[in-house]
Amino acid sequence: MRRSVDFVLQIWTAADAIRRITSGYLGLPDFQRRFAWSTSDVKAFLSTVVGGLPSGTVMVAENRMLNVALRELEGAPPLRQGAGELLALLDGQQRLTALLHALHDIGPEQYFVNFDALQGGVDVLEDDVVVSRRRGSRAISDKSALVPFSALRNDHTFFAWLATHARSSRTREWGEIFSERLQAADDYRIPVTYLGGELGLATVAQIFERTNKWGQRLDAFDLLVARVRGSGWGLRDAWEEAGNRYPAIGRVFGDNGLPTISAIALRSIGEVRRNAVLSLPPAHVEQHWLEAVEATASVAELLIGEGVRRPDLLAYDTVATAMIAARIDGASNSLLRHYYWLASMNRWHEVASNTRVVSDYRHISVGEVDPTMPIELPPVEELEANTRRSSRALWGAMVGAMLTAEPRDLVTSEVVSSALPEGEDTWALVSLIAGGAASETSADVPARLRTAAQVFVMPGIGSRLRRYGLMRVLREREAQPTLFENSLKDDLASQLLPVSTSALERQRPRDIIRERAARIRSLVERRIAF
């Protein structure tokens, strides 16, 4: 069936947008996350504004058609409750929030334009033109060359500020700079896509994803946040509470609550596609929420034990969904562990994942993994060739497998990652092979980029390894054996490497990678049998 969405293109000025926000007529759907721009992001955007350059399109929709819970932008006054003309801001939160903070001089940072730099001929888009100060950090003297961004709204605000704050010798020059080189912020033009007519949440998600392809993905969990809130129970708050109560949840899933919600749908209606998840009645979600959270925490703790110490190491959300649903039904740790490794290492969910997870859950529910799927681990050659780019899922599974060996930093001898639920993961991966290409440019991927060539390092150690090379760093450590509780031999073994520097030096890089890939495979075999 042909899909039709009513929309018109409008041009708002920055003053128009801010007026709608401060009067309570423009708000954020609850599926939108919080303001997340860094100070550098804001300064770059504000330079674009006063430079008069375009910054992309904003998208809004009539909320009487969308019918989701809205909240005000960060720092904005409360929304007008019950106002039929409320608009939902679908895309542009970061830009409009930054404008609100800068033009109304609110928020933790204050923003200024350096007129001395402009007077010296510096282009408005250079990094040192828009500057910031932490609010309350120190006063800006009257003789400062920094003009508050809020004074640049229009002629009246700028010349009023100039008359009371700038030295008389600067009035003419700065007035000319403002009039001839800067865009008054109030007049900055913003293209707006204005959506009207009846809009389903799934349609909004599709629009959002296609217009914001390089931004945040809008999934069914985010959309359900808006739907469920209307029932008086807050899904986002409930998810944050779950993460606070069970640290393992945050460590494995981060802010991604979709596997938990999808597990409820999988058990209730045997489906995890977005439209099916969105069709869950809010009361049903609330009714089954606690058991789903407890199962999520249990699965997260199991996954941490299997090396999933960060969200980016989880091979597939859908694998976690099947595990959570099966845990609610009482599936054992050994069965879930067996399933996790086979599904992740063999990339069962690489295609048709929504169909695959339904079948997986059906089999796990009767105490087995699907016998029609590959049940042998991939050959060593496949693991040897893997990089993060070639298969992120297999990369995550392999890195997780290496973490189950509790690797130690080869320089400091510290354990890089704890298997406790509340552990922190500040480690990085650095290639043990120096030199070569820094990116994948051909079918024959450089050895240094392969997953099995990476070693775990603690913060600050990676740059040392890159600068001096692994062998020099290891020899320096060998010269000071009494400084470390563990032997270098043990630490090399914990990283699945040859247990002496001489053995490392003798072997070709490709041989080291092949042996390490074989050790990773053996580790997983032992995990499955555990």
pLDDT, one tens digit per residue, over 315-335 is 999 999 999 999 999 999 999
Residue 114 has a pLDDT of 87
Q: Which of 251, 255, 261, 199 is nearest to 228 (CA)?
A: 261
* pLDDT on residue 214: 40
pLDDT on residue 40: 81
Which residues on neighbouring strands pair with residue 114, listed in sequence order? Answer: 146
Q: What number is the average pLDDT over the span 383-402?
A: 93
Residues present in the chain in total: 530
Q: In percent, how much of the chain has pLDDT > 70? A: 86
**What's residue 311's pLDDT?**
94
Q: Kindly report, residue by residue over 89-125, the tens digit of the pLDDT.
A: 988 999 999 999 999 999 888 999 988 878 777 677 7
Mean pLDDT of the chain: 85
pLDDT at 117: 79
Q: Where are the domains of the chain?
A: 6-104+187-211, 109-183, 220-375, 385-433+445-529
| pLDDT tens, residue by residue, 67-92 | 778 899 999 999 987 656 889 998 89
Helix 282-305 to helix 317-328 angle (10° resolution) is 110
> Quick check: 419 pLDDT over 80?
yes
pLDDT range class, residue 440, cuts 50, 70, 90: very low
303: Cβ contacts below 8 Å, ≥ 6 apart: 252, 314, 320, 323, 340
Tokens matching residue 282: 């809010």
> How many other CB atoms are there within 10 angstroms of residue 503's CB atom?
12
Most confident of 200-209, 379-388, 438-447: 379-388
Tell me whether strands 109-114 and 130-134 are parallel, antiparallel or unpaired: antiparallel
> What pLDDT does 379 receive?
94
Return the bridge partners of 146, or none.
114
E strand residue ranges, 452-528: 454-457
* Closest of 349, 350, 460 to residue 411, by C-alpha: 460
CA distance linking residue 235 with residue 261, whole number of Å? 10
Distance of CA 52 to the CA centre of its chain: 30
Between CA 385 and CA 396, with CA 391 as vertex, the angle to 5 degrees is 100
Q: Is residue 213's pLDDT more than 60? A: no
What per-residue confidence (pLDDT) applies to 218?
54
Determine the average pLDDT of the residues in 457-478: 81
pLDDT for residue 245: 96
What is the pLDDT, as a whole number, of residue 347?
92
Where on the phi/psi map is residue 460: left (φ > 0), alpha (ψ -120 to 50), or beta? left
Among the listed ranges 82-96, 204-218, 412-426, which one has the minimum average pLDDT value?
204-218
What integer pLDDT is reported at residue 445 of this predicted model? 66
136: pLDDT confidence band, cut at 50, 70 and 90? low
Per-residue pLDDT at 340 exceeds 60: yes
Helix (H), strand (E) at residue 400: helix 392-403
Whether the pLDDT of residue 2 is over 60: the answer is no
pLDDT of residue 436: 46
Q: How far apart are CA 392 and CA 324, in angstroms?
A: 22
Average of pLDDT values for 234-244?
89
| Separation between Cα atoms, residue 174 and residue 162, nearest integer Å | 8
Look up residue 405 and give its amino acid: A
The whole-number average pLDDT for the span 299-314 is 96
Residue scoring higher pLDDT (504 or 59):
59
Two tokens, residue 97: 């929030």
Q: How confident is the model at residue 482 (pLDDT cuts 50, 70, 90)?
A: low
Task: Place 219 in a pLDDT band, splitting at 50, 70 and 90.
Answer: low
CA atoms within 13 A on the CB side of 334: 5
Sign of CA dihedral 252, 255, 256, 261: positive
